């Protein structure tokens, strides 16, 4: 009985063989003819990692990014539309977050449209020079990282360094060198063959004397030739249209009248000469004349508060608004037109503080970085046409303000000082005021106060 036991075990088909895969362990039957697994099969040293089954197809991973519509941003409470001046990018360009992609021109300033997220521009939904409103769809962009192809294109587009002369000569094909050598060899042959072709010189005939050319008579065209008479028609930008509208509105609304005076600038120029270097060293501010005139106006308003007031109400206005603060609008000329940024609460600033505020606003205006908040409001305006050489002028009131002070160029003039004629630097001052609110007595008194403060700056310390 025990002798037949090995045969029975060998003939059994239910003997299991241990096999391993990459993920599980399972048993499978083996036939009697298959050799039995030895201990070496199960030893760690002899185990072979199972082969990973290869898929019958290739998987391609694709990423789908969401599209985003960029809309016209909020510009200001009083501005609801503008003109799309230009797109800073093109379709297919990749932009970073907060990168400028378009510029919208409004009545007062240019508004930049920045990318809300990083992505690629897919489509423009409006055209340049179109009128757009706040919240309108501007363009479509695909969010996501920069495409790999664009990086390669950028690398290819970078200019390569020009090859040196030595590299250029060495890189020429050998045929070119042989051709040059052949040309050099052919030159002496031509020189040798030249004597054979020489002929005896023929006697030269005397050349006839040159005849003087008579000037041709001018053709009678009937009229003299004129210069170019071309004409160009350019559409006015929004800022220029708004300036024209506001100035015409001021002329039609205010009962404007201008009074003049002449001021001796000697004392103020001496004051500036003494302290401008010290102020520049301490604060980095260049001391000018605008701050002194602003301070003089603020002090004069204490005696004539109506200059800082305005008229409000329907049908031309029936209410006078008096203010305890002074917001001075400073007229600044830019390439696109005249803008008037505002120095807030100028009554609380000293001369250096006013000068710094004016310098900052002027820099922002020249760099086209003024915001709506920089130009909103204003209770009194100062316009300095003297920087352009203006000798005399009548500024226009900036509604709803009541008055505007015009400064002009400084010129040396003979004036009577204590019964003697002296040459002094003189400037004309012009005050245009709304006669509906200011009478002539108040306007002239206000201008004389400014004259006194400028001719003796020490008075401003007592104000």
96 pLDDT exceeds 60?
yes
Q: What local confidence, expressed as pLDDT, does residue 425 receive? A: 97
Return phi, psi of residue 228, to 5°: -65, 140
Query: What is the mean predicted confidence (pLDDT) over 368-372?
Result: 82
Instruction: Evaluate whether 452 touches 287 at the Cβ level (below 8 Å).
Output: no
20 pLDDT exceeds 60?
no
Tally of helices (H runs) and strands (E runs) in the chain = 11, 20
Instruction: Evaluate whether 113 touches 125 at the Cβ level (below 8 Å).
Output: no
* Nearby residues of 428 by Cβ (< 8 Å), 6 or more positions away: 260, 261, 262, 391, 392, 408
Q: What local confidence, expressed as pLDDT, does residue 25 receive? A: 45
Q: What local confidence, expressed as pLDDT, does residue 74 receive? A: 85
Q: What local confidence, expressed as pLDDT, does residue 112 receive? A: 86
Measuring CA to CA, how many Å separate 324 from each of 46, 327, 328, 353, 454? 97, 10, 13, 19, 23
Catalytic-residue membership of 324: no
310 pLDDT exceeds 60?
yes
Q: What local confidence, expressed as pLDDT, does residue 67 receive? A: 85
* Per-residue model confidence as pLDDT tens digits over 103-142: 888 877 788 899 988 999 999 999 988 889 988 999 999 8
State whether residue 114 is helix, strand or coil. strand
Domains of the chain: residue spans and CATH? 67-143 (2.40.50.100), 252-461 (3.30.559.10)
Query: What is the mean predicted confidence (pLDDT) over 277-297?
Result: 94
Point out the catalytic residue in the list 130, 137, 277, 439.
439
Crossing angle of helices 266-283/351-366, nearest 10°? 80
Classify residue 173 as exposed, middle or buried by CB count within 10 Å of its CB (0-12, 13-18, 19+): exposed
Q: What local confidence, expressed as pLDDT, does residue 22 receive? A: 42
Three-point CA angle 80, 318, 251, nearest 5°:
60
Distance from C-alpha of 231 to C-alpha of 179, rounded to nearest angstrom:
58
* Nearby residues of 32 by Cβ (< 8 Å), 6 or more positions away: 10, 11, 12, 13, 15
Q: What local confidence, expressed as pLDDT, does residue 186 receive? A: 46
* Per-residue model confidence as pLDDT tens digits over 325-354: 999 999 888 777 788 899 999 999 999 999
Distance from C-alpha of 231 to C-alpha of 349, rounded to nearest angstrom:
50
Task: Count Cα neighbours of 56 within 13 Å in the Cβ-side half-sphere.
Answer: 0
Query: What is the mean predicted confidence (pLDDT) over 374-387?
Result: 91
Q: What local confidence, expressed as pLDDT, does residue 423 receive? A: 97
Q: What local confidence, expressed as pLDDT, does residue 106 receive? A: 83
* Per-residue model confidence as pLDDT tens digits over 263-273: 999 999 999 99
252 pLDDT exceeds 90?
yes
Q: What local confidence, expressed as pLDDT, does residue 145 receive? A: 75
Q: What local confidence, expressed as pLDDT, does residue 195 receive? A: 47
Judge if pTM exceeds 0.85.
Answer: no
Instruction: Evaluate whether 322 touches 309 at the Cβ level (below 8 Å).
Output: yes
Of residues 54 and 374, more confidently modeled? 374
- Classify strands 380-384 and 328-330 as parallel, antiparallel or unpaired: parallel
* Per-residue model confidence as pLDDT tens digits over 22-79: 444 444 444 444 445 444 444 444 455 555 555 555 554 445 567 889 999 887 767 8
Report CA 347 to chain centroid distance, whole Å: 33
Measuring CA to CA, how many Å separate 11 from each of 6, 26, 28, 184, 211? 9, 22, 16, 99, 136
The residue ranges of DSSP E strands in 149-196, in sequence order, are none
Q: What local confidence, expressed as pLDDT, does residue 342 receive? A: 94
Distance from C-alpha of 263 to C-alpha of 261, rounded to nearest angstrom:
7
Distance from C-alpha of 445 to C-alpha of 137, rounded to nearest angstrom:
55
Distance from C-alpha of 380 to C-alpha of 52, rounded to nearest angstrom:
85
Closest CA to 407 of 437, 436, 429, 379: 429
If you average pLDDT over every residue of the chain, what do you get? 78
Cβ neighbours, 10 Å, residue 398: 23
Closest CA to 297 of 269, 319, 439, 289: 289
| End-to-end alpha carbon distance in the chain | 134
257 pLDDT exceeds 60?
yes
Catalytic-residue membership of 57: no
Cβ neighbours, 10 Å, residue 197: 6
* Nearby residues of 14 by Cβ (< 8 Å), 6 or more positions away: 29
Point out the catalytic residue in the list 303, 350, 435, 456.
435
Q: What local confidence, expressed as pLDDT, does residue 184 receive? A: 47
**Read out DSSP for 197-231?**
H--PPPPPPPPPPPPPPPPPPPP--SS--------
Q: What local confidence, expressed as pLDDT, does residue 235 receive? A: 85
Q: What local confidence, expressed as pLDDT, does residue 152 receive? A: 53
Task: Count Cα neighbours of 452 within 13 Å in the Cβ-side half-sphere.
Answer: 13
Q: What local confidence, expressed as pLDDT, does residue 51 receive? A: 57
177 pLDDT exceeds 70?
no
Instruction: Evaluate whether 18 touches 37 at the Cβ level (below 8 Å).
Output: yes
Lowest mean pLDDT among 50-59, 251-260, 282-291, 404-413: 50-59
Q: What is the C-alpha radius of gyration for the chain, rounded to an integer number of angstroms?
A: 45
Distance from C-alpha of 69 to C-alpha of 137, rounded to nearest angstrom:
6
């Amino acid at each position: 009985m025990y002798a037949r036991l090995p045969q029975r075990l060998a003939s059994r088909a239910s003997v299991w063989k241990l096999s391993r895969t990459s993920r599980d362990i399972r048993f499978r039957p083996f036939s009697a003819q298959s050799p039995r697994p030895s201990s070496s099969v199960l030893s760690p040293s002899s185990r072979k990692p199972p082969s990973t089954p290869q898929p019958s197809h290739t998987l391609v991973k694709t990423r789908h990014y969401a599209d985003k519509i960029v809309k016209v941003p909020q510009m200001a409470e009083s501005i609801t539309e503008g003109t799309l001046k230009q797109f800073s990018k093109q379709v297919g360009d990749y932009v970073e977050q907060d990168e400028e992609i378009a510029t919208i021109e409004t009545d007062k300033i240019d508004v930049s449209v920045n990318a809300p997220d990083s992505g690629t521009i897919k489509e423009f939904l409006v055209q340049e020079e179109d009128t757009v409103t706040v919240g309108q769809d501007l363009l479509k962009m695909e969010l996501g990282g920069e495409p790999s192809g664009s990086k390669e294109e950028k690398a290819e587009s970078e200019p390569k360094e020009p090859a040196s002369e030595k590299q250029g000569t060495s890189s020429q094909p050998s045929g070119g060198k042989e051709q040059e050598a052949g040309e050099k060899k052919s030159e002496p042959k031509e020189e040798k063959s030249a004597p054979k072709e020489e002929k005896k010189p023929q006697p030269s005939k005397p050349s006839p004397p040159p005849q003087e050319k008579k000037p041709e008579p001018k053709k009678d065209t009937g009229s003299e030739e004129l210069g170019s008479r071309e004409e160009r028609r350019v559409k006015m930008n929004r800022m220029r249209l708004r300036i024209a509208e506001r100035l015409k509105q001021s002329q039609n609304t205010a009962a404007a009248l201008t009074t003049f005076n002449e001021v001796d600038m000697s004392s103020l120029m001496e004051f500036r000469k003494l302290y401008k270097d010290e102020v520049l060293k301490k604060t980095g501010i260049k001391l000018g004349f605008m701050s002194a005139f602003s301070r003089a106006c603020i002090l004069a308003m204490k005696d004539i508060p109506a200059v800082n007031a305005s008229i409000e109400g329907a049908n031309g206005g029936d209410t006078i608004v008096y203010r305890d603060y002074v917001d001075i609008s400073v007229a600044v000329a830019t390439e696109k037109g005249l803008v008037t940024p505002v120095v807030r609460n100028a009554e609380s600033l000293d001369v250096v503080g006013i000068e710094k505020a004016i310098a900052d606003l002027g820099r922002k205006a020249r760099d086209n970085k003024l915001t709506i908040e920089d130009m909103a409001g204003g209770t009194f305006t100062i316009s300095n046409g003297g920087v352009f050489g203006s000798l005399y002028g009548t500024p226009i009131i900036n509604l709803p303000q009541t008055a505007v002070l015009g400064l002009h160029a400084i010129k040396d003039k003979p004036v009577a000082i204590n019964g003697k004629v002296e040459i002094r630097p003189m400037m004309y001052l012009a005050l245009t005021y709304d006669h509906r609110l200011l009478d002539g007595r108040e306007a002239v008194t206000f201008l004389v106060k400014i004259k006194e403060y400028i001719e003796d700056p020490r008075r401003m310390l007592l104000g």
